[in-house]
Structure 1
Amino acid sequence: MPTLTVPGFPALHAHDGERLVLALERGGTGVLHRCGGVARCTTCRVTFTEGEPQAMTQAEHDKLAEKELLGQARLSCQILCDHDMTLTPLQTESGTGLEAGKAPAEQIEPEPVWTAG
């Protein structure tokens, strides 16, 4: 069971293979996700202190490149929890005053095509 370390929160335990956005939501971080977890809006972005995954979906790569965020942030909706990570959500419901969009699906959407990042 991967451990997620998020500043200001007790250690969160993700289910192996769980989407990071869902683990963060379940842990009460208030991570924002306006598009429902389909790599369209970048509101679920996070930065890593430790444990940043090497693999990236093509959808995440394309969206981060479009927004000029490659190398600066990652999309939690496109990351699977399979190891310990230390990270910070960059946008939260409380910090922005916005509400999250529809609940992300259990599996990564769109169907992931993996790249080396």
Structure 2
Amino acid sequence: MAKVTVPDHGSFDVEEGTKLTLALEDNGVQVLHRCGGKAKCTTCRVEVINGEFGDLTEIEQEAFKKKGVEENLRLSCQVRVNGNCEVKPMMTVESSGLDAGPRPAE
């Protein structure tokens, strides 16, 4: 198990290998994922405060290039929890007033 910490939401244990978007959503953090986890909308982006998710995937690089997203962010629909981490969702249901979007696949 890995511990995921989210400012203003606390910490929770997650099985390693879980998609970060699902780990957040399943633990009460209403992160957006408007495209359903297909890395098209970038609404699920998170700031990585602590922890490691490896190099940006090609799909993240393409999405970020198209949207002009900062380098210290990751798409939570494209990374899996592989150890303790602290992340800050950039867009949530509460902050945007939008519906979260379709649930990403496992």
TM-score normalised by structure 1 residue count = 0.85
Residue segments in structure 1 that go unaligned for 5+ positions in a row: 107-117
Q: Is the 8 A contact 1:48 1:86 kept in 2?
A: yes
**Aligned amino acid, residue 73 of structure 1:** L
Q: Which residue of 2 aligns with 1:88?
A: 88
Whether the aligned pair in 2 keeps the contact of 1:19 and 1:78 (CA below 8 Å) is yes
Does the 8 Å CA contact 1:64/1:74 hold for their aligned counterparts? no
Aligned AA for 1:43? T
- SS of residue paired to 2:99: coil
Q: Specify the alignment match of 1:57 in structure 2.
A: 57
Q: CA deviation at 1:55?
A: 2.5
CA deviation after TM superposition for structure 1 residue 52, in Å? 3.4
With normalisation by structure 2, the TM-score equals 0.94
Give yes or no for the alignment of 1:20 onto 2:20.
Answer: yes
Aligned position for 1:112:
none
Q: Which amino acid aligns with 1:57?
A: T
Q: How much does 1:72 deviate?
A: 3.6
Consecutive unaligned residues in structure 2, runs of 5 or more: none
CA distance in 1, matches of 2:81, 2:42: 19
Q: Separation in 1 of the partners of 2:80 and 2:14?
A: 10
Q: Which runs of 4+ in 1 moved over 2 A?
A: none
Output the CA distance in 2 between the equivalents of 1:102 and 1:34: 6
CA deviations on 1:15-55 (whole Å, 9 max, x unpaired) are 11010000000010110110001100000000011113222
- SS at structure 2 position matched to 1:5: strand
Instruction: State the distance in 1 between where 2:51 and 2:104 align.
Output: 23
CA contact (8 A) 1:56 1:78 kept: no
Identity %: 42
8 Å CA contact 1:46–1:90 kept in 2: the answer is yes
Amino acid at match of 2:18: E
